[in-house]
């Protein structure tokens, strides 16, 4: 008997997953997955796992660095969960859990003081550093995790100093409140980067599911650890340091794996300096690999963006100097007290902001004696002469540079530059 020919009516797939065929069988339409039944069941199990823990449409719906970042983020969350268990046990012991002489009132007061100081620390940190968390998300993400480990170490050591226990746990509470602000805000900034289909809520929700699963695994391991470390401070410290090393290493690998296509000051400086040296433009992966993820303490010439006019000029003569060679650009730029200041006009576009930042970077590097390689401009006696030279340099190269960075894969319709909100409209013009 001749075998019935299979007629495929349609083919579909979910994202980049396994294709499914609609075929005719016994006069009816039937849906079948490609491959054997065993492979179909495997794909089905994997599909359920993906739908629970990964954003819809993965991997097309997220950035290319998503999986590597989430892997290292999972490792650091697991190790942090175990370290947190050790710190919590020490804190409970310090406030008198298990001690018959301890009073409920004393323990409650200590806990309230810790929480109260932490709330104040959260407010003050958000006030002072909130605007920095978008532009330097990698640095603050790593900073938050280092500070979190310091806070947990203080909580573990606090019971050994009963006279200063309240002071130590309150300080640790302040550190943890800063960690909460910096960690939460930078996580949001990274979610914006990862979400490629306006699916921030989904990416954030699935990140929460992953973290919950990791914390559950950490809880199970903690049930085994607690009996071992109880009344054994040496083992507690040894395990804490092992978990901390793993935590910091995983965090470093996580932030290093992030490839952002938007410019902040560091990435724009790296790309611009390389272009001015040999006209090569770094791609986003190349520049991100060179971007520093630790805060640097060497002396640098800072750049302040979007400042008040009085920070840049103090007289009509200085305003005329600032406007010289400005070519009617909607920003003013100058140097005061070893700092580069940039004033923005009210109609400044993103490209104007990038142009102003490029010019400010040229000035900053020319003024900084520690800049490696050949300086972008020769340092002169007058700061205003350097400003004029920077105008000429940017006029010559900026349009070509802008086309080059767009071709290299950088986003030029928005930036992560740390602009303040002052906008100045100057009434005088240079002839």
pLDDT band at 32 (very low <50, low <70, confident <90, very high): confident
Q: Is the pLDDT of residue 38 over 70?
A: no
More confident residue, 226 or 40: 226
Residues 351 and 36: their CA atoms lie apart, in Å, by 55
Indicate the helix (H) or strand (E) that contains 11: strand 8-12
**255 vs 38: which has the higher pLDDT:** 255
What percent of the chain has a predicted confidence (pLDDT) above 70?
87
CB-based contact 147:172 (threshold 8 Å)? no
Specify the pairing of strand 339-344 against strand 303-305. parallel
The residue assigned the tokens 């968390």 is: 133
Structure tokens at 366: 């020319």
Is the per-residue pLDDT at 353 higher than 70?
A: yes
Arithmetic mean of pLDDT, 106-114: 75
Residue ranges of domains in the chain:
8-53, 66-257, 265-407
Give 277-303 pLDDT, tens digit per residue: 999 999 999 999 999 998 877 667 889
Residue 319's nearest CA partner among 307, 332, 301, 305 is 332
Cα separation, 221 vs 84, in Å, equals: 12
pTM for the full predicted model:
0.85
pLDDT of residue 374: 47
Percent of the chain topping pLDDT 90: 49
Q: Which residue has the tokens 């000035």?
A: 363
363-416 pLDDT tens trace = 998 887 655 544 555 555 678 888 888 899 999 999 999 999 999 999 999 999
Quick one: average pLDDT of 179-203? 92
Q: Which residues pair with 31 in a beta bridge?
A: 22
CA 333/CA 360 separation, integer angstroms: 7
Quick one: pLDDT band at residue 16, thresholds 50, 70, 90? low
* The pLDDT value given to residue 151: 93
Residue 320 has pLDDT above 70, yes or no: yes
Give me the architecture of the 66-257 domain, per CATH.
Up-down Bundle (1.20)
Tell me: pLDDT of 98 over 60.
no
Would you state the pLDDT for residue 274? 94
Segments in 158-263 forming alpha helices (H)? 165-194, 200-229, 233-257
* CA–CA distance, 42 with 6 (Å, rounded to integer): 24
> 79-88, 257-266, 268-277: which range is least confident on average?
79-88
> Per-residue confidence at 431, pLDDT binned at 50, 70, 90?
very low
Phi and psi at 280, nearest 5°, equal: -95, 135
- List, for residues 155-164, the tens digit of each pLDDT value: 888 888 888 8
Helix (H, G, I), strand (E, B) or coil at 80: helix
Which residue from 245, 248, 338 is spatially nearest to 293, judged by alpha carbons?
248
Q: Identify the residue whose tokens are 């490696």.
A: 372
Q: What is the pLDDT of residue 271?
A: 96
Cβ neighbours of 407 (radius 10 Å): 10
For range 222-244, the mean pLDDT = 89
Runs of H (alpha helix) within 95-196: 104-129, 132-135, 137-157, 165-194
């Amino acid at each position: 008997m001749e075998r019935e020919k299979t007629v495929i009516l349609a083919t579909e797939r979910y994202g980049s997953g396994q294709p499914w065929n609609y075929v005719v069988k016994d006069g009816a339409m039937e849906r079948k997955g490609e491959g054997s039944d065993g492979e179909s069941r495997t794909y089905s199990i994997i599909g359920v796992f993906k739908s629970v823990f990964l954003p819809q449409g993965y991997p097309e719906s997220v950035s290319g660095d998503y999986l590597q970042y989430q892997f290292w983020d999972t490792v650091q969350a697991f190790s942090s969960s175990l370290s947190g268990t050790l710190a919590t046990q020490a804190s409970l012991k310090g406030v008198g859990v298990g001690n018959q002489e301890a009073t409920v009132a004393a323990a409650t007061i200590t806990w309230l003081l810790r929480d109260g100081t932490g709330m104040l620390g959260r407010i003050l940190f958000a006030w002072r550093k909130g605007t920095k968390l978008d532009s330097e998300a990698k640095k603050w993400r790593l900073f938050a995790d280092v500070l979190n480990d310091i806070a947990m170490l203080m909580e573990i050591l606090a019971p050994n100093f009963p006279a200063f226990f309240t002071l130590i746990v309150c300080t640790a509470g302040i550190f943890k409140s800063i960690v909460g602000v910096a960690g939460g805000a930078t996580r949001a900034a990274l979610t914006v980067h990862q979400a490629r289909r306006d699916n921030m809520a989904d990416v954030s929700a699935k990140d929460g599911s992953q973290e919950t699963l990791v914390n559950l695994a950490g809880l199970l391991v903690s049930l085994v650890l607690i009996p071992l470390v109880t009344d054994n401070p040496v083992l507690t410290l040894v395990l804490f340091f092992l978990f901390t090393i793993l935590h910091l290493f995983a965090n470093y690998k996580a932030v290093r794996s992030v490839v952002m296509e938007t410019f902040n000051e560091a990435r724009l400086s790296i790309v611009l300096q390389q272009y001015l040296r040999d006209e090569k433009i770094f791609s986003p992966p190349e520049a991100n690999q060179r971007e520093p993820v630790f805060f640097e303490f060497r002396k640098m010439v800072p750049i302040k963006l979007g400042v008040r006019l009085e920070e840049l000029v103090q007289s009509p003569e200085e305003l005329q100097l600032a406007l010289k060679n400005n070519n009617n650009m909607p920003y003013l730029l100058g140097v005061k007290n070893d700092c580069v200041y940039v004033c923005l006009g009210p109609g400044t576009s993103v490209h104007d902001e990038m142009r102003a930042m490029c010019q400010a970077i040229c000035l900053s590097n020319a003024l900084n004696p520690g800049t490696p390689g050949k300086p972008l401009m020769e340092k002169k006696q007058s700061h205003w002469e350097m400003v004029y030279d920077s105008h000429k340099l940017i006029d010559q190269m900026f349009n070509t540079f802008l086309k080059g960075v767009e071709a290299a894969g950088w986003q030029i319709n928005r930036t992560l530059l740390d602009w303040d909100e002052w906008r100045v409209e100057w009434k005088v013009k240079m002839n």
